[in-house]
Copies of this chain bind each other. A is one copy, B any other.
Amino acid sequence: MTGTLLRSDHGRPVAPSEGVLRPLGLDNVRIADGFWADRQTLNAEKLIEHCEYWVERAGWMGNFDAAREGRLPAAHTGRSFADSDVYKLLEAMAWEIGRTGDEAMNRRLQAIVERIAPVQHPDGYLNTYFGRPGQALRYSDLEWGHELYCYGHLIQAAIARGRTAGDDLLVDIGRRAADHVCNTFGVGGIEGVCGHPEIEVALVEFARFTGDDKYLKQAQLFIERRGHHTLADIEFGRDYFQDETPLRDTDIMSGHAVRALYLAAGGVDLAVETHDHDLFRALETQVAKTVAKRTYLTGGMGAHHEGESFGQDFELPPDRSYSESCAGVGAVMVSFRLLLATGDSQYADQIERTLFNVIAGSPSAEGTSFFYTNTLHQRVPGTIPPVDEASPRASSSLRAPWFEVSCCPTNVARTFATLGTYLATSSPDGLQIHQYATADVRGQIEGGTVAVRIETAYPLEGTVRVIITETIDTEWDLAIRVPGWSTKARLLFEGEEEVQVTPGTAIIRRQFAVGDTLELRLDVSPRFTFPDPRIDAVRGSVAVEAGPIVLCVESVDLPPGLSVNDVRLDVGRKPEVRDGRTTVSLLPAKFQSSAWPYPPSPEDLAGGAAFEVPLTPYHHRGNRGPSTMRVWIPCA
């Protein structure tokens, strides 16, 4: 252990110095039961250990051992950014240890950190891929080298550790790396940026964590340098890494989706800390336009496999949606920061959508395999990836245990560990409930500490009860989000008349007593959703949602021999819940087989008898073996 104890910020992953809402830390929100508790249990019991196993097996940890033992570059395995997945894993473990106090995991974390520490150079430089004889020079490939990206994840891990366990070796490594970045890339240093944003969001948070503005200034330098052709041109164009246009002049997200989202997250943090209203407004617009024109129904982002990038406006092909799991993580990061700054419930809507439909669906039910990309239409059943091989391909049709580019599993792990933070916030006026899960929430408001118990079977059922468990002697606001998808929401406060509430934020201001109960009643019965007619790729199709859950049809639920490409949906019959599953009426489609698929008149699709088919929550797809799947079903 080195240095002085740093501020803990109560286990908050994000701790802005100001904003409409204040985040609650992991010690103030405890998810007790239900959908998200299940994911946290899966993370604690399976997913993190699975990642630990694979960073060893794939050799990412071995790279640090090889560095200590002078076996680099010969013994290096993986890509230039392999170090970062160890750091993301450490971040996940740190939050998880903070959440649960898992002593065994704590020892494992410390063992990993001790293998990394000796690899850090005296000047703070730390990377297994660059800088040794036989390796490329430090910072000789800012476009693709990912050195600063790796530091970003290292620093985020250090923050997680510092805010849960206090100062220790990992915090020290992170601080030395952060100092090295400032010394090397500060004024008078290398006037470069990293090809993959991430250092920015990490440095702003490190400034919040340490109270030292030099990290904030360095983040500012990186963000202001970017967008001026600071990086070399590449085949995808500089837009790929957001170096074509400065962030504050960017109208809508483009290029590599994860890069764009990490950069935007850092941009919001910077704007908040520096009171840069122009930058903040630019980011609000950028995000609003991206959500309105370049986002999948699932909340997924990224329409191109090539360049893992956003497409043009309304270019949202379901069968080639890239919608990387990591882009889901990035989108939640951005939305959460904007929610804190503005209090606008639309951002919590996006968080909900993305958590339920992108991030929750990445891991298998067993927590030992993952979707990297999240397609909305699986045309062929695909094959089961080997359980003991890293997938070289990001777009397999079924979940794979690991990837040669292994960013997603560790990103899911760190998100699951910090789920609590997205549930609720506080402000001087009261508490705000953003997400619905059975949980205990406590917060400081003006006048003291208040606490509530949330009880719900959401998203299966639409009733959310908020029970006051601790209160103060004066009035305060209990606020609860009413989701954007909700059309018939009602709010009930005991002894008072039930009221209709519309999407946004419903606030009850009372002098509450312990036991007082607020009940939000949402209609989570299944409903049809249609695409904006500008989304060419799903014209004439319909999707089914239930509450925040996007549903899909899988061929394992169809009569034998039919694929999801052979059916049409009868929109005349509303979806219904039968035996706990949402069911729709489908018709078999008849196709003429022909040598040339462009006939002179529209082909008649009149099918046979309609049949009822149960749908599957999109996040649960692919858990029953190879299957074709689609979210958007052509209308009969």
Taking beta carbons and an 8 Å cutoff, which residues of A are in contact with B?
233-237, 288, 291-293, 295, 297, 304-306, 311-315, 317-320, 346, 377, 379-380, 392-393, 404, 484, 487, 527-541, 543, 565, 589, 591, 593-603, 605, 634
Contacts and interface: CB of A to CB of B under 8 A. Distances in A.
Contacts of A541: 536, 539
A531 B304 contact: no
Given A380-B312, A600-B487, A600-B529, A534 B594 contact: no
Contacts of A304: 305-306, 320
Nearest to A528: B600
What is the count of identical protomers in the complex? 2
A595 B346 contact: yes
Contact of A291 (B234, B295, B596, B601): B596
Contacts of A392: 233-235, 237
Nearest to A594: B292
Contacts of A293: 597
Given A404-B235, A536-B377, A484 B634 contact: no
A598 B317 contact: no
B487 A530 contact: no
A377 B311 CA distance: 13
A591 B535 CA distance: 11
B634 A530 contact: no
Contacts of A594: 292, 532
State the main secondary structure of chain A at its contact with B. Answer: loop
9 contacts: A234-B392, A235-B393, A288-B595, A292-B593, A304-B320, A306-B306, A314-B597, A484-B596, A530-B598
A598 B537 contact: no
Given A304-B306, A539-B634, 8 more contacts: A235-B392, A237-B393, A288-B595, A305-B305, A318-B536, A530-B600, A536-B538, A539-B540
Contact of A530 (B312, B589, B599): B599
Give 6 nearest A-B pairs by CB, closest first. A532-B597, A305-B306, A306-B306, A312-B379, A539-B540, A540-B540
Nearest to A604: B533
Nearest to A532: B597
Contacts of A320: 304, 311, 315, 317, 320
Contacts of A533: 589, 591, 602-603, 605, 634
A556 to B, nearest CB: 19
A595 B292 contact: yes
A302 to B, nearest CB: 12
A315 to B, nearest CB: 6
Contacts of A393: 235-237
A357 to B, nearest CB: 12
A367 B100 CA distance: 69
Contacts of A529: 598-600
A634 B532 CA distance: 13
Contacts of A603: 530, 532-533
Contacts of A377: 536
A513 B320 CA distance: 60
A596 B292 contact: yes
A531 B533 CA distance: 18
Residue in A236, A404, A534, A541 with the greatest tally of chain B CB atoms within 10 Å: A534
B314 A531 contact: no
A591 B534 contact: yes
A591 B532 contact: yes
Contacts of A601: 528, 530
Contacts of A527: 600
Contact of A317 (B312, B317, B380, B565): B317
A536 B295 CA distance: 19
A236 B295 CA distance: 26
A540 to B, nearest CB: 5
A595 B510 CA distance: 33
A293 B379 CA distance: 13
